[in-house]
Amino acid sequence: MTKISLGAHPYLLGFEELERLMERTAKSAGDGYPPYNIEQTSPHSYRITLAVAGFSENDLAITLEENSLVVRGRQSEDSDGRVYLHRGIAARQFQRSFVLADGVEIGEAVMENGLLHIDLTRKPPESVVQTIQIRKGGHTKGSAQ
């Protein structure tokens, strides 16, 4: 079966960057930690929720890097003399990236019951109709080319 690429399709012009973006995103999916949900809260808004139990607001950083929303978590080591018989709660650093389309804006981020909620809104694109003028060429029917 032949793979059809977006850049090679005759009706999709200029989508090469989208294809590279999809390939890069598939490679950076990571190990699935921390788990997250993405929900559509209205026709033009979304909410990303990450399960970050054990992290405080000070342990988390949210940045916008080019068109990527990046959430990083790094817990401070507490060496207050605790002796663990079993340590099953993850205490590791993470980085989770979400690629945002043009026009998507980040709203507020709220920490609640071990869940980090990040609200996003998408401004609908303006409908633009542009008329292209056709100029008369220098060649006429029957002339030598």
Q: What is the pLDDT of residue 137?
A: 84
Q: Where are the domains of the chain?
A: 8-77+88-122
pLDDT in tens, 125-143: 888 999 999 999 876 565 5
Fold of 8-77+88-122: Immunoglobulin-like (2.60.40)
% the chain with pLDDT above 70? 81
pLDDT band at residue 89 under the 50/70/90 scheme:
confident
pLDDT in tens, 8-34: 677 777 777 777 777 766 665 667 889
Mean pLDDT of 60-65: 96
Query: What is the identity of the amino acid at 144?
Result: A
% the chain with pLDDT above 90? 48
Q: What is the pTM of this model?
A: 0.71
Mean pLDDT of 97-101: 91
- Among 115, 134, 101, which residue's Cα sits nearest to residue 57? 115
Between the alpha carbon of residue 125 and those of residues 15, 47, 80, 102, 128, the distances in Å are 18, 20, 53, 9, 9
Q: What is the pLDDT of residue 57?
A: 95
Q: What is the pLDDT of residue 100?
A: 92
Q: Is 57:74 a contact under the CB 8 Å cutoff?
A: no
Strands 45-51 and 115-122: antiparallel
Q: What is the mean pLDDT of the chain?
A: 84
Q: What is the pLDDT of residue 104?
A: 95
